[in-house]
Structure formats: C-alpha cells, structure tokens
Amino acid sequence: MLSIEIVRGVLFWCSIINFSLLAFWGLLMLTPHEWMHRFWSRWYRISAEQFDVIQLSGIVLYELLIFVFNLIPYIALLIIG
C-alpha cells in the first residue's frame, strides 16, 4: 500500500523531471530554431510561423498537463498533511 509520503515524493520528482523537459524543449526552440524548422520541414510543409505556433501550442499544453497532473496534486497532498 502506498503512503501519502511516497505519492508526494513521486509527484515531486515527476514535476521536477517534467519541468526540466519543458525547459529543454524551450531551449531547443530558442537556440537551434532554424535547424529544428529545417529538420521538420523535410517531412511537413510548414512555414516558420506555423512551426512556431505548433511548438508554442505544444509547450503550453505540456505545461498545463504538468500543472494538472503533477503540481496541483502535489500541493494538495502537502496541504492535507
């Protein structure tokens, strides 16, 4: 049986790992942006603006999912004890 402390620890480390991946994704969009666009435009015909919108939408969705499934349950477990 899982204790609250174990679940809290798992949610904490899931949040850390997910926010690290989110930061890495953001750095990939800032640093090698042109390379990433050229890489993906080999398979998909998208402009640089469309690529940016798709990437930003993915980043925002991923961030929202981190908050809903990792961070908010972690904070709720901190509140209850």
DSSP sequence for 34-77? HHHHHHHHTTS---HHHHHHHHHHHHHHHHHHHIIIIIHHHHHH
Q: Are 22 and 62 contacting, i.e. CB atoms less than 8 angstroms apart?
A: yes
List pLDDT tens digits, range 21-79.
Answer: 999 999 999 999 999 999 999 999 999 999 999 999 999 999 999 999 999 999 999 99
Rounded to two decimals, the pTM is: 0.89
Question: Residue 1 — pLDDT band, cuts 50, 70, 90?
Answer: confident
Question: Residue 19 — pLDDT band, cuts 50, 70, 90?
Answer: very high
